[in-house]
Amino acid sequence: MGSSKASGLAKDCESAAKTLKTFIDEGNVPKEAIANAQGLAIFSGFRAAMAFAGSGGSGIVIARLPDGSWSPPSAFSVKSGGIGLAYGLDVYDCLCVLNTKESVEAYTKPEMELGTNLAVAAGPVGATAQIKELKPVWTYTRTHGLYGGLTVDGTSIKERPERNAEFYGSKVTAAQILHGEVQAPAEAFEHTAKLVKVLQLVE
């Protein structure tokens, strides 16, 4: 039987797996950072120039459970301003390494803003980089457009309850998902397994 076409949160999982693998393969993120993380938020978005006002994107967040395993994914949407972009369209990927339980809990809120409700800092670079000082959140970004010096400060993160409900088959909250109180449906295994496989590369 062939694999089913991914949509919604399943598609977000596959995109997150590709994004995370790219960061790892490029050697930008210390493996130790991911191995010791309390959670990971991975998203892709775009910023348009002021003349083409608009921004958006989507992503997932997963949390480390008490037994060391990872929670199922929770979906969120992204909205960020086009400040600093003179023209064109900037497409970017972002990995947020959540180093504290408090930073994971921020993603259980219906809406929050990076840099305002949750302090972020550029993460140490290099697969074998020494981690000298732990910050609540380390961010890593990759851009595909014209925008330089990308920062995620001011990025709005909003829970997507409708996308989570579609994926899990019932109404669930981000808190329930990230606390390990729900399980991903069996039919979604082929999509979530891709993300798990990437995580196993660094653990």
Residues 157-186 pLDDT 10s: 999 999 999 999 999 999 999 999 999 998
At 191, the amino acid letter reads H
Rounded Cα distance between 118 and 112, Å, is 8
pLDDT, average across residues 1-14? 71
Q: How confident is the model at residue 50 (pLDDT cuts 50, 70, 90)?
A: low
SS3 state of residue 122: strand
SS3 state of residue 2: coil
15 closest CA partner among 155, 174, 185, 142 = 142
Predicted TM-score (pTM) of this structure: 0.88
Q: Which two tokens stand for residue 41?
A: 């938020």
What integer pLDDT is reported at residue 83 of this predicted model?
A: 46
Average pLDDT, the chain: 85
At 25, the amino acid letter reads D
Say if CB 63 and CB 38 are below 8 A apart. yes
